[in-house]
């Protein structure tokens, strides 16, 4: 199981790391169109699908557990998606202002980004007792461990694509 999880995380990381830069490079080319909101929406939908597949591959559930767990997961994922929508809007705002951000704008972006981090942590805290009603403790912990690992991979890739504020000067 450990080797399977490592392999899946490595593959996920490779997929996540490889896909966005290729799209970003294509968008940066003068010969190709820019990345649209629809492109981003499709990428995010694909990431959510891959994330669910990885959770399914690494969280061993009985049929009875699966029947109870997946609707809870879908609800959790929908709430996470709303936070992701806010994060995407914040990134778009940053990109739009990049090159001319004032100190106040930079601080506002930072404050709102940290608030989203906190909201994400609070959502996980909210769902621990909900998930633990449908899964035993070890499987609840495993789910949140997998969820956190996959989110960290995505966050790392995203962060690597966003220039530092100081680079605008």
Q: pTM of this prediction?
A: 0.75
Does some domain include residue 53? Answer: yes
Could you report the per-residue pLDDT of 119-147, keeping only the tens digit for each? Answer: 999 999 999 999 999 999 999 999 999 99
105 within some domain: yes
Residue 32 lies in a domain: yes
Cβ-in-10-Å burial (0-12, 13-18, 19+) of 140 comes to buried
78 falls within a domain = yes
Give the number of domains in the chain: 1
Token digits for 115?
A: 């608030």
In-domain check, residue 138: yes
- In angstroms, rounded to a whole number, what is the distance separating the alpha carbons of residues 108 and 112? 6
Q: What is the pLDDT along the chain (169 residues), one digit of tens a residue?
A: 444 444 344 344 444 434 443 333 333 334 445 767 777 777 778 888 899 999 999 999 999 999 999 999 999 999 999 999 999 999 999 888 888 999 999 999 999 999 999 999 999 999 999 999 999 999 999 999 999 999 999 889 888 888 888 876 6
Confirm whether 115 is domain-assigned. Answer: yes
Tokens of 77: 């994922």
Domain assignment present for residue 169? The answer is: no
Considering only the C-alpha atoms of the chain, give the largest distance between any 2 of them, rounded to a whole number of Å: 57
Domain encompassing residue 32: 2-164
């Amino acid at each position: 199981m450990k080797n399977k999880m490592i392999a899946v995380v490595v593959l996920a990381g490779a997929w996540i790391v490889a896909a966005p830069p290729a799209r970003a490079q294509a968008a940066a080319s003068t010969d190709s169109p820019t990345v649209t909101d629809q492109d981003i929406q499709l990428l995010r939908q694909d990431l959510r699908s891959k994330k669910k597949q990885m959770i399914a591959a690494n969280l061993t559930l009985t049929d009875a557990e699966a029947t109870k767990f997946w609707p809870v997961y879908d609800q959790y994922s929908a709430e996470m998606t709303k936070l992701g929508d806010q994060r995407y809007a914040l990134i778009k705002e940053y990109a739009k202002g990049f090159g001319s951000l004032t100190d106040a704008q930079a601080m506002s972006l930072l404050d709102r980004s940290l608030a989203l981090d906190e909201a994400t942590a609070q959502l996980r805290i909210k769902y621990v007792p909900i998930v633990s009603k449908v899964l035993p403790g070890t499987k609840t912990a495993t789910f949140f461990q997998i969820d956190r690992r996959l989110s960290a991979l995505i966050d790392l890739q995203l962060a690597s694509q966003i220039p530092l504020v100081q680079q605008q000067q």
